[in-house]
Amino acid sequence: MQTVTKRELVQRIAEKTGVQQISAKDVIQSFLDEIIAELAKGNRLEFRDFGVFEPKSKAHRVARNPRTGDKVEVPEKTTVKFKVGRLMKKLIQKEEVSEDDYDDDDERSGGDGRVTQQGASGE
């Protein structure tokens, strides 16, 4: 498995869209900042065909230190749960994808750069 960095994504998106890398970087960073801000407010973010980000609270609990066996207080904390969208799941599992799998509310039309099975596998 290969790790793809934000820098690589910026380069790819700049190339695909014909914008300068600095502009692509600014847009991507603004997008990520908005996701973080909304999750910090306790809001759920839904991206059709992609997935859902949702903040989840984990209650205070008592755990055990595995080395010493001592009880340890674990404070309440908030984490983020991500549920994979149906289309992404199909593409990752390399299942057959049809035009019906794309969200009808999407303003995109055919031949618009949607991720395909070939594109999802990096080929």
Return the HEC string of the chain.
Answer: CCCCCHHHHHHHHHHHHCCCHHHHHHHHHHHHHHHHHHHHCCCCEEECCCEEEEEEEECCEEEECCCCCCEEEECCEEEEEEEECHHHHHHHCCCCCCHHHCCCCCCCCCCCCCCCHHHHCCC
Confidence of residue 95 (pLDDT cuts 50, 70, 90): confident
Q: Would you say residue 3 has pLDDT above 60?
A: yes
Task: Give residue-wise pLDDT tens across range 5-16.
Answer: 999 999 999 999
Q: Would you say residue 73 has pLDDT above 60?
A: yes
Which of 11-20, 32-41, 104-113 is predicted least confidently? 104-113
| Rounded CA separation 90/2 (Å) | 20
